[in-house]
Chain A
Amino acid sequence: MPETLERSEVAARFAPGDRVRVLKAAPLGHVRTPWYIRGHEGVVERLCGAFPNPEELAYARTGEPRQPLYRVRFLQNQIWPEYAGREDDVIEIEIFQHWLEPL
């Protein structure tokens, strides 16, 4: 990593408990948002910190400014129509802020 790299980060927009929707987008490249969760609504479980954007890092760029990363909680039966578990079974996924919109 070059010593002159300037570290900067995007301010966090969301707080734990906020309701969010994952963007339903299909950009090319190295995306860390699973396909199966795009377009779904969930609740922010926690802010994990800010990390270099993997969509930039994968192409040898710096990943700056860092993007806030959240753990978002989704109800299983809202993701999989045929889900055969409890109503309150959940899946929790790390999602970068630029993939989330407020509800």
Chain B
Amino acid sequence: MSSDKDLGTYQPLTYYQMMEVSLRELLVEKGVISEAEVERAMGEIGARSPERGARMVARAWLDPAYKARMLADGSKAAEELGFEVPGLRLIVVENTPDTHNVIVCTLCSCYPRMLLGIPPEWYKSRNYRSRVVREPRAVLEEFGTAIPESMQIRVHDSTADMRYIVLPVRPAGTEKLSEDELVALVTRDSLIGVTIVTGEPAVPPTS
């Protein structure tokens, strides 16, 4: 983009922003989609947040039958709570006192967006993607998660049509909490598997 154009107060568009605007305007102009449809889709994307995954986890902690259904078929269990998983299959991997699970997509940044929303920047970074597969314990320690030598680590590389969330271990001392109170404990990062759930209520995650 030439610098002599008067762009007013706007930042110049990046290459991909320009591509998006051009393509969207063409599709609207040709009547393939409408601006209203784009608005609606953006609204739906914005409404997805890690609370959806957290809700599934809290339900599984409280209801062993739901947990069994969730481990057998994650997509169906998500749909049971009203969360659609169109086109992809959800696999839920269970943390236990002996096993810790962590999710990555080494090829790009596949992420269970329908349950966790927009992925954090670090999830898409080359650093995380290239290192968590070969030195998961070191990477987890950088997230403040020390996995003892007594535990096995399972890394899941999301390379094709499956998407993953982790079912964390329910922390001790939460036996009396309600489903909503449990939801508040489950962080986005614990659903990816880079942290565990503590008894402390979640603070909003930073990117």
Q: Please state if A88 and B137 are interface contacts (CB–CB under 8 Å).
A: no
User: Would you call B121 an interface residue if the criterion is a C-beta within 8 Å of the partner chain's C-beta atoms?
Assistant: no
Q: Please state if A93 and B136 are interface contacts (CB–CB under 8 Å).
A: no
Task: Give the interface residue-count category, chain B.
Answer: 20 to 34
Q: Please state if A90 and B154 are interface contacts (CB–CB under 8 Å).
A: yes
Q: Please state if A94 and B162 are interface contacts (CB–CB under 8 Å).
A: yes
Number of inter-chain CB pairs below 8 Å: 74
How many chain-A residues does the 8 Å CB contact rule pick out? 26
Q: Please state if B135 and A36 are interface contacts (CB–CB under 8 Å).
A: no
Q: Please state if B153 and A89 are interface contacts (CB–CB under 8 Å).
A: yes
Q: Please state if B135 and A84 are interface contacts (CB–CB under 8 Å).
A: yes
User: Would you call A21 an interface residue if the criterion is a C-beta within 8 Å of the partner chain's C-beta atoms?
Assistant: no
A75 CA to B157 CA, complexed, in Å: 13
The 8 closest A-B pairs by CB, nearest first: A94-B160, A91-B155, A93-B157, A51-B161, A94-B159, A89-B153, A80-B134, A32-B159
Residues of B contacting A95 in the complex (Cβ-Cβ under 8 angstroms) = 159-160
**What distance in Å separates the Cβ of A80 from its nearest Cβ neighbour in chain B?**
5
Chain A residues close to B by CB (< 8 Å): 32-34, 36, 48-49, 51, 54, 69, 71, 76, 79-80, 83-86, 88-96
**What distance in Å separates the Cβ of A37 from its nearest Cβ neighbour in chain B?**
8
Beyond the given pairs A34-B106, A71-B91, A91-B154, 17 more chain A to chain B contacts, judged by CB atoms under 8 angstroms and listed by A's residue number, are: A32-B159, A36-B106, A36-B133, A48-B160, A76-B155, A79-B134, A84-B135, A84-B138, A85-B137, A88-B152, A89-B136, A89-B153, A92-B155, A92-B157, A93-B157, A94-B160, A94-B161
